[in-house]
Structures are given as C-alpha cells and as structure tokens.
Structure 1
Amino acid sequence: MTRRIVRTISQLGALLLVVLLFVFVVDTRYRLLPQSIHTANFLHHPGLVITDVTLTTCSSINPLSSCRLDPSLWHRIEKDLYLHSGWVSSAYLHVQRKKEEELTDEDKVVLDLRVGRLDPGVGEKGQQQERWESRPGNIWLLRSNKRKDSDSDRAVTAVDVLFGVDAVDPRPAWSVTQTPLLLDATSRLQAARISIRHGALKPDKKSVIPRIRKDGKFKILQLSDLHLSTGTGACRDAIDAKGDIKGSCEADPRTLDFVGRILDEEAPDLVVLGGDQVNGDTAPDAQSAIFKFADLLVSRSIPYAAIFGNHDDEGPKASRLSREAQMSLLSTMPFSLSRPGPDNVDGVGNYYVEVLAQAPSQNAAITLYFLDTHSYSPDEATYRGYDWVKPNQIQWFTETAQSLKAQHAKYTHIHLDMAFIHIPLPEFTKEGNLLAGGEFREPSTAPGFNSGLYQALKEQGVVSVGCGHDHVNDFCALTRQSSDAAKSENLGPWMCYAGGSGFGGYAGWGGFHRRVRVWDVDMNSGRIVTWKRVECCGDDLKKRVGELLIVDGGRVVVPPEST
C-alpha cells in the first residue's frame, strides 16, 4: 500500500513537471523580455492601428492558469499590472492591431479608451450619446467601423502601461488615462495606468543641436542622483531649515518641484543627467520613473544627455529594465542627446556631444564627453566597492579626442573639453588636492583600482570632470602636478561633485540640503564658472552657493584665495 502511494505521488510529480515545462515553453515562445519592450515591441511599429484592447488575469501559483491569449490575434504588453507583487494574481493588457492597408469595412478601429465604472457614453440626463464597449478592468473602448477613421488623428495607434498616481507620458501625441485600471489592488504596489497614442507616428524631429547663445554663453545644469521611484516614493533624510531630519514626505514630487524651479530660474541650455536617475529598488517600472524627469525637460524644450549610475538598473529581476533598454528608450525621446555608444566598448553610454559655436558657424566650441562608470566591483576580493572605467573605454575616449582635434582647430576661439561620469575617480580625493567651492562630508567611494582615466583626460586637455554618487559631497578638487601652482599647464582637470538632487536617496549629513550644479561657460573669454543651487532655505534658495572660477582663457586656474 505504501509503495502504491509513493508510486502515485511520483507519477503526479512527473505529470506536474511536464505541465510546468509545457507552460514555460508556450509562455516563453511568444514572450518579449521587459528590456526589449522599447526596441522590439509592436507598440512602436509605424502604420498600425489598434482594433481592440482587453485585459486578462491569471493565477500566479496555478501552472494551468495563463495570462496568454492567442498570439496570432493578440499582442501582450509585457508588464504585469501588479508589478509582480500579487501573491496569487497576475494581469496583462492585450491589444489587437492591423496595418491600415489590411483593414476591411467590417473592422473596427479604436478611437478612444477610458477607464471608469460608468459608461462614458451616457450623458448627464441618461441619454446614450456615444456607444462605448466594455472590457475587463473597467476599460471602455470607443470603436468605429469606418475605415476612414484609421488614418485620422482620432485613431489609437499605440498603447502602453505606466504606473503611479504621478505617471506622465512626455512622448508626442501620448496621453495617460486619468483613472487607473480598477483591479483588486490589495497587493499591488502602484496603480497601473494606460497610455495611448492618437494618430500616425510622426516623423522624428530634426536632431537637437546644442549651440552657443548669441551672447557667447552656454549654461549646463548637472542633475545627479535623482533616485526617482515608480510612484511618488518616500523621502530619505528630509531635513528642515535648521538641518534637523524631520517628518516624512513624498520624495518624487518634492524632487521634481525643486528641479523644475531651478530649471525655470537658471534657464540652462543643456541638462546633464549624471546617473542614478532611477532608484532601482523602488522603481519596478523604470520607464515610469524615466518619463517623470523627461517630462520636466521635454515640456521646457531643454536638450539633455544622460549617463547611468549603479542604481539605475537595479531592482526585482522580473521587472528590471536593463541599461541597454533604458538608453534605447532615452535615445528616442524628444530633446534627448543620449546615446548608447559603440558596441565594442564596455558599458552603455560612452559618447560625446558637440556644442556648436554661434550661428551660422558649424564648428564645435565645446565637446562634452560621457563615460559609463558601471556599478559594483567585478573583483570584490581584491578591489572592494565599485567598478572602474575599462581600458577600451579609455582607448575610445583618447582616439575620439585625438580624431576631433583637427576639426576643433577650425574654431577661431578657444575650444573647451569637459567630461561627466557617475562614480568619482580615485584622484577626486587624492592626498594634497586643493579643495574649493564646497565641502567634503563623506568618504569617497571611488573604485579601488585606478584604470588611468584621469591621466587620459589630462593628456587630451579636458578642463573639468563632473561626477555624482557620493550624495553629500559637493566640492571641487584640483590635483597639482607641479609644486608651482601658477603653472596652469600642469594643472587639471578640475574634479567637481554635483551633490545629490533627489529625496529618494540618502542625504542630510552635516545639514546637507539637496542641490544641483551649474556650469556657466563663457566662450568669449574661454571661462568656466561653476556653482550650486540648493533646495532650502531662506536666502540660499536664490543665491549661488560655492561659486568658483575654474577655467579662464581656456586654462585651468587656481582660485586667487588658494594661491
């Protein structure tokens, strides 16, 4: 009897294993991995219109329950509407789509989509004004079988899913539904919202070309360590005007309000996003976090360039968005200058941006280099802490800088080279450095291995390098190569921390208020002046903090009080 029970249990176990393997094969056969949603997803294929939308739910623990519909008819948006937080449930949005030329007179085209408990087509007096169709999750569709509507601005041509009460979509012609999907939200982290695009995919705008203003000036605002979440997030180390850590707050609204105010007051010509824009552990949907900072910049028509930090691609494996996918998304956004960089170079985001001289010149006045400093040490036993810039990155930078010199020589004024990274170089806190314009509040977390990027930057004439990562450090440092400080040709580049900008990351040490760094470049005299703007308090809201002249006549200079 005992043997029979054991044999029966073994047979059931084998059957269950076969079922699990079958479900896995079927499920993964058509699956688009999360990191591919912005490069291979149907959402961005031109010439398609949406003909239907529905929602499916399934059990997370029942191997026979699947959130799949017939893949020959339906395309699933690869985002679990519960953000993989449901104990027993998962849910996915599906759409049907067709090429415009394949539509028949019988096909219906989605003209609008709304979420709510009440029929949007019923007027205040109960009259049926428009015929809306109900779908699961309290989705309502307005569809038309008029083929002419397919190529009008009314037709819905793409669908996406974002999360959080603060979800925004900065992409042209996209809009987010005001009401979230009405699901059983007992275990869901953030409300899921549908975003739709009306009309045909418009041709890409002309490339954004940053240019020196007519007055010969160019201003860069460096934002580092925004640490944005999916949803509003929770503040860390929020301090009051006296420097005391007090109370709680929603991190992202406070961060974005601060940054938005500074953008309006400083009116930068370019924004550098210096890494850790996304707080991976609290951003199971990185796209929703990215769209929040992008919306600040797109709505103000400000060009921006991004690099990554060690937190951008962290978080739950099931919903993590890789650096490659994030850069793919960023590089398609309006006003973005962000690029992935060469495939044969380590990291994602090794690229440069040329700032042209005043119109009508086509010569570059400033070259900005961006390098990926990766994440954590690949050899923790020998070099604890963080990773370092790799030899082939340094080679790429050196060869690129040298190849551009002939073209830069055509500029009749002084050409300037600047660089931006996330994790500081070992030289940032080298013994004997001259420190100015800020404070050294926390130990540097520079990598234990020095791969030589600083020396390469110096040899190629880069005059400044900005970093983030250590949130409460905001000083600039200069490593002297000569005992004679007056010989500026032996100095530099200046190394400047940006200071943490976001309330989702740690801060508060030593009365530290969130801040941003401004780089003000005057090409008339080859001069760079840098300062910070802080989030709080009193007169500091308006004033320049730690203002410092670091370059004059195209050469690195020592502040007069330090000579």
Structure 2
Amino acid sequence: MTRRIVRAVCQLAALTVFSIVVVYFLDSRFRVLPSAIHNVMPAHHPGLIITDITVTQCSSVNLLSSCKLDADLWHRIEKDLFLGSGWVSSAYVHVQRKKEEELLADDKVILDVKVGRLDPSSGQKGQENERWESRPGGLWLKRSAKRHASDSAKAITAVDVLFGADAVDPRPGWETLDHALLLDKTGEIQEARVSVRRGKPSPPAKGIPRIRDNGKFKIMQLADIHFSTGTGHCREPEPADLDGGKCEADTRTLNFIGRLLDEEKPDMVVLSGDQVNGDTAPDAQSAIFKYAELLVKRKIPYASIFGNHDDEKTISRAQQMELIETLPYSLSMAGPGDIDGVGNYYVEVMSKGSSKHSALTIYLLDTHAYSPDERTFKGYDWLKKNQIDWFKKTADGLKKAHEGYSHIHMDLAFIHIPLPEYNNAELPIVGQWREGVTAPGFNSGFRDALVEKGVLMVSCGHDHANEYCALSPDETGNPALWMCYGGGAGFGGYGGYGGYHRRIRFFDIDMNEARITTYKRIEYGNESELARKIDEQIIVEGGKPKGL
C-alpha cells in the first residue's frame, strides 16, 4: 500500500512538472499564456458590480504586515502601486465584486470614487447630505444606501490601476481619476491612479480602413515613439534650450503627434515598433494607453508591431498584444500561433464606397529583438523562415481575391528592424543617412520574398536618425522595391546625430493613379519649416516602383 501511495505521488508530481514545462514552453513561443499572465491585466467581467474598494500596504521587513486579503471576499489587482521601487514596501488595490443577479436588496454598490485628503462633500454646496466612506490611500467611496434596480447603469463595474501624471484610459466607459492615490512614496513615475468603468461594458469601436471617395488614402507611420510610465525624460532634444531646457519626453512627443494628426488627417496609423520604452515603462499598459488615446478620440484605425525595446523589463509582447487587440480602433493582431513572433498579420484597406474588395494590403511582421546567436551574428535578430513562408503563402492566397478589385491593387509592408539590404551605400536614396544601419548580421531573404510577391514598399524604424528611402533594383537593374525609414518621432529615444529633429513619415496613396507619394514632417522649426513636406517624392507610379 505504501509503495502504491509513493508511486501515485511521484506520478502526480511528474505530471505537474510536465504541465508547467509545457505551459512555459508554449509561452516562450507566444502560444498559451499561464493564468499568472492574465493577473496583470485589468479584470473585465461583464455583469459584475463593485461593492467595495480598499488599499493594502505592507512591508517585507515587518512579518505582521500583509498585502493579501481574504481571496474569497476580495480580488487583488496585481499591480504593485510602487511599481517594485518601494524597496521594502508594496501596496495593492483590492475590490469586492458581485454578479449583478446575485446582489441582495440590502447590498451597497459603489456609485462614485474620488481621491483626496478631505471628504468630497466638505464645503460643497448642495452636497452636505452626501455620505462618502473613507478608505486607505485617500480613496473616498460613495455607496448606495441599498441595492436599486437602476444601479447597474451608473454603478462602478470595473476598477484598474494606471501610473503617471499623464495617465489616460482610452477604453469606452472608463475614466481615470484626477488625483493619484496618497501613498507613502514620492516620485512622479509612482503616481498610481485608479481608473474606473461605469455601467455595463460596451464593445470597442473597430474602424474599417477604406479608400476615401476621392480615391485617396493616407498612412502616418509612427516610428520609435519610446513612451514611458509617467511623462518620461527627453534624450538629446533639439533644440536643447527650448523652454529653458525643460523637456518631458512623452508630453512633447504627444503634442507633436497630435498636431500632425490634426493637420494631415491620416486615414490610418502604423506604429512600427518601440512604442514602449521598456526600460522606463514598468507599466507598459499606461504607456500604450497614451498613444491609443490620441488615435481613439480622433477615431483613426491603427495597427502596431513591436520593436526590440517594447518588452524590456515590462510585460511580454503577448501580454501587450492581448491588451492592444481589445482597444477601440485597433487593427492589431497577434497573428498565427504556429510561427515565430507576435504581430505577424495583414490589414486589408477596402475600396471606396461599400465595396467588399481590398484595394491595398498592408503586411506587418515581427522582427523580434536581439540576435539568438551573438557569437556568429552579432546585433539583432532576423525574420525567421516560418514567418517568410507564412508571408508568401498568405500573399498567394490573397491573390485571387485581389483580382476582383477594378483598379490596380497594391501591397505594402512594415517592420521594425531594417533588412540587411538597407546597408548598401551604392543604392540611390532620398533623405538622410546619418548613422550606421543596425540590420541583422544574418540575411534570411525577406527582401527577396517581398520582391517575389510584388510588394512595392517596405518601411521600418529602429535607426532613429536615418530617415531615407532607398531604391532596391531587381537583377536587371529595374526598380524593384523601395526601402524606407520612418525616422524617430519620440523624445524618449535617442536623437543626437547632427542636430536631428524628430520627424514623422507619411504615405499619401492615390488609388486612381496607383501612385504612392511619401514625405516627412518635422517637430521643430519656423512656421514655413513646420508646414513643409520634407523630401517629398513619388515612389510608386502606375502600381510599380518608380525610379529616381
């Protein structure tokens, strides 16, 4: 009997270890996520009502303190309010919640939440009779005297935590409270802010990119915006003495992007990697929400891929994409689970009117981060064979459907890390080549696959101060592929090459003529410089790459 018990225990232990190994292996390939990953994401449970909120604070040197409450009563939002910088202190927001149909007549539900040192009703005319309940961290809760049938429409139904003085929440029905939680910690990056949702969740709007009635379509490429948790610190801003040298990286970048969104009115935005400066963004969600809010409030569809910095010292690509996919107007997708990387997908831009035919296909692929074989190939990673095979198979599969379009269908591509072919000084270029091309040391052949499948242009980021387009020829010397850089747009990433001014690239597409014109706009200059289109050029004419 003892041997049987020992054998059963060993088998159970082996099965448990095997399961953990399988889940870890799948996660390392971005397939199946362990439940621990979902704990760091906001808790969205349709039909739940929040009945209480509190904050716990604990110390690792005080064995009597704990940041855990009864798990049967409280749900903990798995974000340390000190973002791991509290040395010996941690703090967490907890919520009590119930399914709406399980609420009893005497249950209280939360109708409003505020943060401050004083009772919100103090000194407020007409609010003397309102009752607010105090909680740790400066939280004040207004709860109903008892459950009412109409509460679900105005009650707090979800709670999340964001960070930074510039924290925003682009999700429908969500609102970030004006004041940060009052904690025993200073420092702007640690400004923990509660975000709440009122009422029942509504599905996010999903814009369908479509050619305008005049046959035009404009793409804004945002390359290397490098957002942080909090307002961020500028790196090598130009000019350095602007506003007395005071420079908040994300604030200045957001103002730049917002200005051009309003002036250029793009139909779609492609974020080509390093949206998150992982080293300074312990809460990537807060960084992602900042760029999303700019686009969501303007109802502009957007698609994103990752760079080498997005997931450094913060949540993984898979976790970030899981969040981005749920945001309004996001076209982003994790892509097939059986190939390398996260964010291998394509976007179809539909023909004008109510047509169901694609006029333009945009391929987006994950170029990963650092070389997996540093001894042989130093520097950066490369597109893998199964990614290239997926691209070729997908292009072949779409070909027949694209034949239904009455004009010339065109294909474009976006990546983060440049292809090795960018590093060819003999190619004709338009724009500035200011720094060394940090392409992979191994050439996996993606440029040739793009040409083979008729892609007209590929644009990348990564090298911030390079902002040229290079014309790559075919074997007979005819134009085959334009290879462009977006040019670094963010002040959280480096500049520092010959007085480099941040800039943003646009692709102005005229489907009537099957023509693509590209140009850049700069962040700083006099009135005429700010309005000017830099290095404007036609790269595609009649559906074919155009030579210089």
Deviation, 1:151, is 4.5
Identity of aligned residues (%): 61
Alpha-carbon distance between aligned partners in 1 of 2:340 and 2:203, rounded to the nearest angstrom: 32
Contact 2:473 2:481 in 1 (8 A): no
The answer to whether 1:309 aligns with 2:307 is yes
CA deviation string 1:501-557 (max 9, x = no partner):
000000031121000000011000100000000001012200100111110000001
3-state SS, counterpart of residue 421 of structure 2: helix
Give the structure 2 partner of residue 148 of structure 1.
Answer: 148
Matches of 2:243 and 2:98 in 1, distance apart? 55
Aligned to 1:271: 269
Write the distance in 2 (CA, Å) between the matches of 1:198 and 1:127.
21
CA drift of 1:359 comes to 1.1
- Answering whether residue 514 of structure 2 is matched by residue 526 of structure 1, we say yes
Alignment of 1:4-403 (within 5 A): 33=36, 36-38=39-41, 43-62=43-62, 65-124=65-124, 128-148=128-148, 151-186=151-186, 189-205=189-205, 207-240=206-239, 247-315=245-313, 320-403=314-397
Q: Does the 8 Å CA contact 1:245/1:508 hold for their aligned counterparts?
A: no
Question: How big is the shift at 1:431?
Answer: 4.5
| C-alpha RMSD of matched pairs (Å) | 1.9
1:557 aligns to what? 546
Distance of 1:187 and 1:223 partners within structure 2: 29
Assess if the C-alpha contact under 8 Å between 1:345 and 1:393 holds in 2: yes
Say whether 1:470 aligns with 2:458: no
1:505 alignment partner in structure 2: 493
Give the direction of change, closer, same or farther, for the CA distance of 1:444–1:215 in structure 2 (3 Å limit). Answer: same
Do residues 419 (structure 1) and 422 (structure 2) align? no
Offset at 1:34? Answer: 5.3
Q: In the TM superposition, what whole-angstrom CA distance separates every residue of 1:97-145 from its partner, at most 9, and x where no partner exists?
A: 0000000012110111100111112334697320111111111001114
Q: Distance in 2 between matches of 1:151 and 1:391?
A: 55
What is the distance in 2 between the residues matched to 1:220 and 1:127? 50
Kindly provide the CA deviation profile for residues 235-275 of structure 1, in whole angstroms up to 9, marking residues without a partner as x: 00011299x99834111100000000000000000000010
Q: Distance in 2 between matches of 1:299 and 1:114?
A: 24
Partners of 2:124 and 2:302 lie apart in 1 by 46
Q: Is the 8 A contact 1:149 1:155 kept in 2?
A: no
Q: CA deviation at 1:188?
A: 7.5
Distance in 1 between residues matched to 2:151 and 2:243, nearest whole Å: 56
Distance in 1, matches of 2:225 and 2:273, equals 8
Secondary structure of residue in 1 paired with 2:87: coil
Q: Who is 1:541 aligned against?
A: 530
The secondary structure found in structure 1 opposite 2:401 is helix
Give, in angstroms, the shift of residue 379 of structure 1: 0.5
Change (3 A) 1:245 1:161: closer
* C-alpha displacement of 1:480: 2.0
SS in structure 1 of the partner of residue 252 of structure 2: helix
Q: Which moved more, 1:63-72 or 1:304-313?
A: 63-72
Output the amino acid matched with 1:247. G
Letter in 2 for 1:396: W
Distance, in Å, in 1 between the alignment partners of 2:124 and 2:473 is 75
Contact 1:86 1:188 in 2 (8 A): no
Q: 1:448 aligns with which of 433, 441, 447?
A: 441
3-state SS in 2 of match to 1:305: strand
Instruction: Tell me the secondary structure at the aligned position of residue 152 of structure 1.
Output: helix
Count residues with an aligned counterpart.
Answer: 514
Instruction: Give the whole-Å Cα distance in 2 for the aligned partners of 1:448 and 1:64.
Output: 54
Q: Structure 2, unaligned stretches of length 5 or more?
A: 1-33
Which runs of 5 or more structure 1 residues have no equivalent in the other structure? 1-30
TM-score of the superposed pair, with normalisation by structure 1: 0.88
Q: SS at the partner of 2:148?
A: helix
Q: Distance in 2 between matches of 1:108 and 1:462?
A: 59
Shift of 1:64: 5.3
Contact 1:241–1:536 (8 Å) recurs in 2? no
Shift of 1:160: 0.3
1:165 and 1:186, CA in 2 relative to 1: closer, same or farther beyond 3 A?
Answer: closer
Decide whether aligned partners of structure 1 residues 241 and 120 sit closer, same or farther in structure 2, where only a CA change above 3 A counts: closer
Q: Give, in whole Å, the separation in 1 of the partners of 2:174 and 2:460.
A: 34
Helix, strand or coil at the partner of 1:113: strand
- Secondary structure at the aligned position of 2:190 is classed as coil
Secondary structure in structure 2 of the residue aligned to 1:264: helix
Compute the TM-score of the two structures, normalised by the length of structure 2. Answer: 0.91
Q: What is the one-letter code of the residue matched to 1:209?
A: I
Q: CA deviation at 1:179?
A: 1.0
Is the partner of 2:480 in helix, strand or coil?
Answer: coil
